[in-house]
Amino acid sequence: MLRLLRVEHLPLIGCLEWELGPGFTVITGETGAGKSLLIGALGLLLGNRADRALYLDGDKPCSVEGDFFLNSDATMTLTPLLESSGIAPCEEGRLLVKRSISPSGGSRQFINGCSTTLAVLRRVGDSLLDLHGPHEHQSLLPRSAQLSLLDAFGGLQERVAQLEDAFEKLELARSRERIFSDPERERQRLRWTSMVQEIGQAAIRLEEEEEIHQELELAQHGWKLLEMVGELDALLFTEGGALDRLSRARRVLTAWSSLDATGAAKAGELLEAATVGLQEMGVLLTSYRERLDVDPDRLNALEQRRSHLEGLKRKYGPTLADVLLSLQNAERQLEDEETERRQHRELAEKRPELERRFEEILRTLAEERRRVGTILAQKVSAVLAELGFPRADFQVEWMVRPQPGRRGAEEVEFLFAPNPGRPPLPLRETASSGEMARVMLAIKTVLAAVDHVPVLIFDEIDANVAGETAWKVGAHLRLLGRQHQVICVTHLAPVAAQGDAHFRVSKEPAGNGVSVSLAQLGFPERAEELARMLGGKSDESLALATRMLTETPRPASPTSGAKPS
């Protein structure tokens, strides 16, 4: 509920703090006393457009602040919106909403002390408060809201949840079918398959690229190298070559040693080492010559292998390591694709059953909604008859959606015609604000248990109402106040007499002008105010006002008040 409304620098009102309690609160006062300004202040809190002529007071910014107390349901409803908008959460169920309007007409909005946008303020306002009258702020006008309330009124939420579940499963099956019927997806799968086959068949080893390079280097210079090896072999190992000369040198060294063993010893060691080294050189040349056995077929095979690897690198590289990574990625994609195709096949097998279940729930829900719609129309019409529309026509019209969705195959529209001979129109097209307010009262009365907007404000609800109808309007407002916080501006004593709290708006002299004051009335003051509303403060009207008050049930004690800031 709204616990406190604080206004600063609003023309005529000035600064005011208005403390409210639960239940049904009435506001009365002479015509032109300023009641519309008070309702306008609430409208500003909801994000309504600010009229500079009405809401700006000279060079001072105007501000309106509402202190709301939220129950657990309202807290749960608003928490996701607050979190997504970067607004601090409610502490102990307390929500602070403030709007400040500068003299230039610009406004700033704050929720729980956090700056926010006007759009977020309006969304929060939609969840907290409905204003019925000239300053319309009515959550019942959108078709989606009407359908939700009708489902709640008929206790169809579980059936709607079943439909949403069936729709989601069927849509999943349909979406998978659309995905796998996409030609581009099949082309992509073929590309992955081709990649796996092409790279896999190449049997790539990361080190082979260097090996091929080295082997080709040798093969490409093979004849020249063989010539060089042959020349070395001739110089070292043919008759008269190095090895032959070493043999003659060893014979000479043997003769030297026989004459001077000590002097020839070191020379003998060196000559022996040279002989061994030359023999090892012969083994090396033989081995190298075998490796240089130039095979044209081998050379061609190496060239082809290198060309094949270069082609793979151009397509999937730029390196062989990248080619192998591309292979791994393609294999993983094909594995995921196969898993999804298996799931798709399973869903495709279930699709006939999913369609059958969806159609069955769709048909059942449509039948139940139409049944509930008939009951709702009858109940609202009955309440409307009590509220001064004995021959009004309230209808629940159904329209078929082009395509059934998660909420069903139909949309709903509440229609209303106040008098016979006029076609019923959607509520949003109802012209008279007084008529609209009473229609909303009738609907809210019937839907009170399932309508979760906590604060309801009715302005001009008593237009063209008198006598017994006025009593019934007040009775319905009082009844509605048992499940909502109801605030009503009224000119009718039978309505005002049934309020749980009563405030009077009046104009008083202030300097060179006037100001608006708001006062809570106790029993004697209420009787006098009702007497004034009945036509004057005569003994008869005062006695009637007293009887009206005593015959209306009262709460144990008042819980609201008003005081200047």
- pLDDT at 178 exceeding the cut of 80: no
Encoded tokens for 429: 């097209």
Amino acid 135: pLDDT: 43
Amino acid 182: pLDDT: 67
Encoded tokens for 297: 């077929």
Mean pLDDT (the chain, rounded): 83
Q: Within a domain: residue 285?
A: yes
Amino acid 29: pLDDT: 87
Q: Within a domain: residue 323?
A: yes
Task: Give 290's pLDDT tier (boundaries 50, 70, 90).
Answer: confident
Among 235-249, 427-441, 480-494, top mean pLDDT goes to 480-494
Whether the CB-CB separation of 28 and 493 falls below 8 Å is answered with no
H-helix or E-strand spanning residue 254: helix 242-259
Q: What are phi and psi of 286, to 5 degrees?
A: -65, -45
- Strands in 24-29's sheet, in edge-to-edge order, are 129-132, 455-459, 485-489, 24-29, 501-510, 513-520
The residue assigned the tokens 């403030």 is: 98
- pLDDT at 205 exceeding the cut of 70: yes
Q: Within a domain: residue 210?
A: yes
- pLDDT at 557 exceeding the cut of 50: no
- pLDDT at 177 exceeding the cut of 90: no
- pTM above threshold 0.75: no
Amino acid 298: pLDDT: 76
Q: What is the DSSP string of 62-97?
A: EEEEEEEE--HHHHHHHHHHHHHTTPPPPBTTEEEE
Q: Within a domain: residue 418?
A: no
Distant-in-sequence, close-in-space partners of 139: CB < 8 Å, separation ≥ 6: 126, 130, 145, 453
Among 34-43, 97-106, 119-128, 357-366, top mean pLDDT goes to 357-366
Beta-strand (E) ranges in 460-555? Answer: 485-489, 501-510, 513-520
Task: Give 89's pLDDT tier (boundaries 50, 70, 90).
Answer: confident
Q: Within a domain: residue 36?
A: no
- pLDDT at 125 exceeding the cut of 90: no
Amino acid 461: pLDDT: 73
Q: Using CA atoms, how far apart are residues 140 and 440, in angstroms rounded to an integer?
A: 8
Task: Give 564's pLDDT tier (boundaries 50, 70, 90).
Answer: very low
H-helix or E-strand spanning residue 14: strand 14-19
Distant-in-sequence, close-in-space partners of 318: CB < 8 Å, separation ≥ 6: none
Residue range(s) defining the domain that contains residue 236? 188-332
Amino acid 3: pLDDT: 93
Amino acid 264: pLDDT: 81
pLDDT tens per residue, range 356-415: 999 999 999 999 999 999 999 999 998 888 888 888 889 999 999 989 998 999 999 999
Amino acid 432: pLDDT: 60
What percentage of the chain carries pLDDT values higher than 70?
89
Q: How many separate domains does the chain show?
A: 1
List residues bridging with 505 in a β-sheet: 29, 518
Q: Within a domain: residue 114?
A: no
Task: Give 242's pLDDT tier (boundaries 50, 70, 90).
Answer: confident
Amino acid 45: pLDDT: 83
Q: How far is CA 113 from the centre of its chain?
A: 23
> With left for phi above 0 and alpha for psi between -120 and 50, is residue 410 left, alpha or beta?
beta
Task: Give 428's pLDDT tier (boundaries 50, 70, 90).
Answer: confident
Q: Within a domain: residue 251?
A: yes
- pLDDT at 562 exceeding the cut of 70: no
Amino acid 58: pLDDT: 60
Mean pLDDT to the nearest integer, 94-106: 85
DSSP reduced 3-state for 158? helix
What is the SS3 assignment for 303-329?
HHHHHHHHHHHHHHCCCHHHHHHHHHH
Q: Within a domain: residue 269?
A: yes
- pLDDT at 227 exceeding the cut of 70: yes
